Amino acid sequence: MSKLSDLKRQFLEHIEIERGRSLKTVENYSRYLDRFLSFIKSDSPRAITDNSVREYRLWLNRQPGNGGVNETLKKKTQNYHLIALRSFLKYLRKREIDALSPERIELAKVSERSLDLIEGDELSRLLSSPSGDDIKSLRDKAILELFFSTGLRVSELCSLSRDIDLNKDEFSIRGKGEKVRVVFLSSASKEALRAYLGKRVDVDDALFVQHSPSSKSKEDLRLTPRSIERIVRHYAAKAGISRKVTPHVIRHSFATDLLQNGADIRSVQVMLGHANIATTQIYTHVTDKQLRDVHKKFHSRKK
C-alpha cells in the first residue's frame, strides 16, 4: 500500500501541474497536510478515519490563534486545513486508494464575513493623493487608478507588462487558477497610465517598477505585492484615512461601486474573477440598491 507521505507529494505535484494551482496554494496545502499527518502519526491511508478527523478537528479548534492570549484558531483558518484534507481525499479516491470519503468532512460554520470599506469621499481623496509630476507620483497615481478601474488583485497588478494597449478600453488578465478574464480601463486610469509611461526611460518589461537610486543596480525592477501594499498605505495616511486601507479594500470599493450603480451580481462576479458567485454575494449585503429604494419609498418613521 502506498504511503501517505508519498501520496501527499504526488497530490501536490498533481495540483501544481494538472490543476494549475499557484505555488503559494501548493505551499499552503503542503503545510496544512503536514499538520494533519503529524497529528495522526501514521503513514497509512486507512488511518484517515471519521474518528481521527474528529479528534484532529478538536485539536485544531483548541490551537492558539494570533489575536490574543485566550483566542483560538479562527474557524476560517480551520476550514483552510479541512479544505486541503478534503481535496487530498478526493485525489486518493480518484486513485482508487482506500481512505475516508471526502464527503464525510463538513466545514465548520463561520460567521458572516464583513467587508472593509472606505467611504466615497475617502476614496476620492485616496485617488487624488499622488499629486506630483515626478515619476514616483505618476506611477503611484496610475497604480491607484488602475486598482479602482479594474478591481485587480494585487498579485495580478504586479504581473502586468507595459505592453497594454491604451487605445483600447480593456485588456485580458490571467488570474487565480490560471483563468483569463477581461478587465476594463476608465478614462482616468488610461490618462494616469499614459502620463506615467510617457515619463519612463527604462526598458524594463514590467508595467510598474521601482524608481530609486538603489534600484539602478537591480536586474528585476518589478514592484512586489508588498511594495504596492506599502504604497497604498502611504497614500491612505496622506489622504487622512484612519482605517487600514489595502489593495483588497480598493477591490471591495470597485465591486460595491458597480453594484450601487445598478450592475448585476453575475457581471460583477465575472469582473472580479470569482469562480463561485457565492463569493461575490457578500457585496449585496451592503449594496443592494433595489432594497434601499424600496425602503426609501415605503418606509416612514411617522407611522
Active site residues: 153, 176, 248, 251, 274, 283
Structure-block grid coordinates of residue 127: 485617488
Instruction: Kindly write down the DSSP assignment for every residue of 111-127, as one continuous string.
Output: PPPPP----HHHHHHHH
Structure-block grid coordinates of residue 277: 458567485
CA 33, 278, 275, 193 torsion-angle sign:
negative
Instruction: Kindly write down the DSSP assignment for every residue of 82-99, as one continuous string.
Output: HHHHHHHHHHHHHTT---
At 72 the three-state DSSP class reads strand
The amino acid occupying position 88 is F
Which letter does DSSP use for residue 176 in this model?
A: G
Residue 118: closest CA among 258, 257, 293, 263: 257
Q: How far is residue 187's CA from residue 167's CA, in Å, rounded to a whole number?
A: 11
> What element of type H or E holds 152?
none
